[in-house]
Amino acid sequence: MPVEVEVKIKVDDFEEIEFKLLDSGALLEEIVMQRDHYFQHPSRDFNETDEALRIREDGDRFYLTYKGPKFDPRSKTRIELNTEITSIKNITHTLEQLGFQEVGIVPKERKIYLYNELQFCLDNVESVGLYVEVEKTIEDKSNYEIELEFIFKTIKEMGLNPENNERKSYLELFLEKTKIKKK
């Protein structure tokens, strides 16, 4: 199953990291507005299982994503399954009919840079702040440690501190900031 190897770092601004990325030859892939709709399972508490189910509005594209529990204590590395969908309305109604409840919507502006086979996502998350996510999707978890060490090495080269790694999801951070509790 596909695994997303990911490290997320809180930053004060994007100026230095953007300069270093561009100076190192990174390519700006896109700038997009995203809205992530998160859902709670009817009989399994995703807070306790460390899973997530979301619908992402990504510009004019839409995705249903399941994220499994994080299995690395230093990162947000986990199984991630993405399926492109054509109708948010239809899939939302389907999930609701199955007992899922929408628990939050997290909007953000995302700039995506490609560098050394890694995605650098510069995220301005509404009500949460500025974060840099560095990630790579791999086929399975057999070599994730190698990819994770490469991400940490690259983060340091870009002037970011891996010790500032944030393992909470944007939904968790959003709910903390807005004082809304997940059901």
Q: Which residues are catalytic?
A: 38
Are the CB atoms for 174 and 16 separated by under 8 Å?
no
Residues 105/36, Cβ–Cβ less than 8 Å: yes
**For residue 121, what are the contacts with CB-CB under 8 A and spacing of at least 6?**
110, 111, 112, 113, 132, 133, 134, 135
The CA-CA-CA angle for residues 111, 25, 154, to 5°, reads 75
CB 76 within 8 A of CB 167: yes
